[in-house]
Amino acid sequence: MRYEAPASPDGKRRRPWAGPFTKKSDADDAAVRLEAEGNTGSPIADRRLKVGPFLRQWVAGKKSLAESTRAGYLEHIDLYLEPGLGHLYLADLSDEHLEKLYQAMEQINRPLEGPPSEMLRRLLAVRTVAAWEGARPGQLHISKPLSPARIRRVHATLSSALSTARRQKKITHDPSKHIELTAAKKRRPLLWTPERVARWRELVADEAAKEPADRRPVPRPSPVMVWTPALAGQFLDLLVEWDERLYALYHLVITRGLRRGEAGCLEWSDTDLDGTKTISVLEDEEAEADAGIKSDSSRRVVHLDDINVRLLKAWRKVQAADQLAAGEDWANSGRVFTDRLGRPLDLNGLTDHTEWLVKKSGLPPVRLHDMRHAAATIMLAAGVDMKVVSATLGHRQYWFTADTYTNVVPELAEAAAEATVAIIPRRQEA
């Protein structure tokens, strides 16, 4: 469909087009939009640009993204947005297109009542190819349905891209602003209280007594479990005992609450160890799942204690020795935490290494991201104001922090009370 619009302010002829359409109602709606755009004399949306190429251009134009954020955007585009929407013209993208995409994403790895939709077929085809090419199972979520939180993150990526398109006048309507998504189930952290630790150890012992073929992993009380300050201290002591190369990183995460990507992407140019004793953290995609709202290049300043300053200075000497040993092979990435050749840490490898360390320690299991929650419990146990905790963790809203740790605070107080009474020497119980 083509429309003869009034001439532009510079006198040039304007003949915008749209389509093709499968329904007359869609064509009629597009005609109304074209006429409205044309009669204003304002720039008309680019109707020859498709969603797929635009998304690639959008990511390429973001020069200051953290690597983990860029990788997250590209994964969303590769697995969902391009196969689902990439063939459509950007200016014709509608609420209905987005709703069909998210409905198909919700059906991935779930039983179907009938044949899969064309949208779902495209998504599954791309995932099959990616799996054959060696993508990590964690990236593809091969055996599990996609969570509402993950679908919301994909939507956030698309929404950010469409906001840019609207600002650049590539579109006149942003359909992402009118979509209602399934609410993400909030997973509040639970504390590894003495009772939970004791029960976990009992279950571990029961499994160990079985034949190897009959053993099963011991489930955690909640997907998000948090060490008490005492357990976090035991873990750090073990890292010192083992001469763990990345001890400074773990100490920083456990005491200052950095996210995995924030610690892994931290650069020396973002540190001030002698003056303000701060680091400037570039928040990454994980911040979105953590706090709900973020900007594309959010930064926050995190204040360091003397111990973290000392550990980072010691680590810089280790890194200098690595550089000397590597010679011309040194990557000179500028990152604070690197491998022995100066290359940025592989974040998935860091997750795997953390899992191995926790298992080796014999302590109740937590994930690397759970250690960030441990930082919150340590600050709360030390009497730090909730608003300060919220700012340190990089939460956008104070209420989010308070709501997240609703269960942890009273359990932390109870555990502290029990620990206090337990250290008093008594000849007999009162």
Give which of 144, 64, 156 is closest to 106, Cα–Cα. Answer: 144
Euclidean distance between CA atoms 50 and 175, whole angstroms = 15
Cβ neighbours for 430, distance < 8 A, ≥ 6 positions apart: none
Entry pTM: 0.69
Q: Tell me if 416 is assigned to some domain.
A: yes
Same domain, 72 and 113: yes
How many CB atoms within 10 Å of residue 21? Answer: 15
Euclidean distance between CA atoms 387 and 322, whole angstroms = 40
- Residue 336 has phi, psi (to 5 degrees) of -70, -50
Same domain, 118 and 212: no
pLDDT of residue 401: 84
pLDDT of residue 112: 87
Q: Tell me if 64 is assigned to some domain.
A: yes
The pair of structure tokens assigned to 201 is 């150890």
| Lookup result for tokens 């009959």 | 214
The range of the structural domain enclosing residue 299 comes to 190-420
Report strand pairing: 299-303 vs 271-272.
Answer: unpaired
Give which of 94, 83, 88 is closest to 154, Cα–Cα. Answer: 83
Q: Tell me if 280 is assigned to some domain.
A: yes
What's 78's DSSP letter? Answer: I
Q: Tell me if 96 is assigned to some domain.
A: yes
Q: Tell me if 33 is assigned to some domain.
A: no
Q: For residue 150, give Cα distances in angstroms to 144, 155, 205, 397.
A: 12, 9, 35, 21
| Lookup result for tokens 């609450």 | 257
CB neighbour burial string for 104-130, b if at least 16 within 10 angstroms, e if fewer? bbbbbeeeeeeeeeebbebbbebbeeb
Query: What's the total number of domains in the chain?
Result: 2
Same domain, 198 and 325: yes
Same domain, 140 and 225: no
The pair of structure tokens assigned to 83 is 């196969």
Same domain, 329 and 415: yes
The pair of structure tokens assigned to 194 is 């003495």
Which of 154, 178, 202 finishes a domain?
178
What's 90's DSSP letter? Answer: G
Which of 151, 178, 205 finishes a domain?
178
Same domain, 276 and 153: no
Q: For residue 302, give Cα distances in angstroms to 100, 259, 279, 393.
A: 42, 12, 5, 9
Contact 348, 339 (CB under 8 A): no
Distance of CA 411 to the CA centre of its chain: 27
Same domain, 105 and 142: yes
The pair of structure tokens assigned to 393 is 């963790």
Euclidean distance between CA atoms 260 and 337, whole angstroms = 12
Q: Tell me if 379 is assigned to some domain.
A: yes
DSSP string, 155-208: HHHHHHHHHHHHHTTS-S--GGGGPPPPPPPP---EE--HHHHHHHHHHHHHHH
Same domain, 216 and 151: no
Task: Render each residue's pLDDT in the chain as its tens digit; 430 residues.
Answer: 555 555 555 555 555 555 555 666 666 666 666 665 555 555 555 668 999 999 999 999 988 777 778 888 999 999 999 999 999 999 999 999 999 999 999 999 888 888 999 999 999 998 876 655 555 544 555 567 888 888 999 999 999 999 999 999 899 889 999 888 887 677 788 999 999 999 999 999 999 999 989 999 899 999 899 999 999 999 999 999 999 999 999 999 999 999 998 999 899 999 999 999 999 997 754 444 444 334 444 688 999 999 999 999 999 999 999 999 999 999 999 999 999 999 999 988 999 999 999 999 999 999 999 999 999 989 988 888 889 999 999 887 878 888 888 778 777 777 667 666 666 776 765 5
Euclidean distance between CA atoms 166 and 43, whole angstroms = 12
Give which of 104, 91, 103 is closest to 1, Cα–Cα. Answer: 91
Same domain, 195 and 336: yes
pLDDT of residue 145: 86
Same domain, 211 and 354: yes
Q: Tell me if 185 is assigned to some domain.
A: no
What CATH number did the domain enclosing 278 receive?
A: 1.10.443.10
Euclidean distance between CA atoms 294 and 302, whole angstroms = 17
Instruction: Give the per-residue SS3 of 112-159.
Output: CCCCCCHHHHHHHHHHHHHHHCCCCHHHHCCCCCCCHHHHHHHHHHHH
pLDDT of residue 293: 38
Q: Tell me if 391 is assigned to some domain.
A: yes
Which of 178, 206, 238 finishes a domain?
178
How many CB atoms within 10 Å of residue 86? Answer: 18
Same domain, 163 and 200: no
What CATH number did the domain enclosing 125 receive?
A: 1.10.150
pLDDT of residue 297: 45
Same domain, 127 and 270: no
Count CA within 13 A, CB hemisphere, residue 229.
17
The helices-and-strands tally (H runs, E runs) of the chain is 19, 5
Beta strands per DSSP E along 247-313: 271-272, 278-282, 299-303
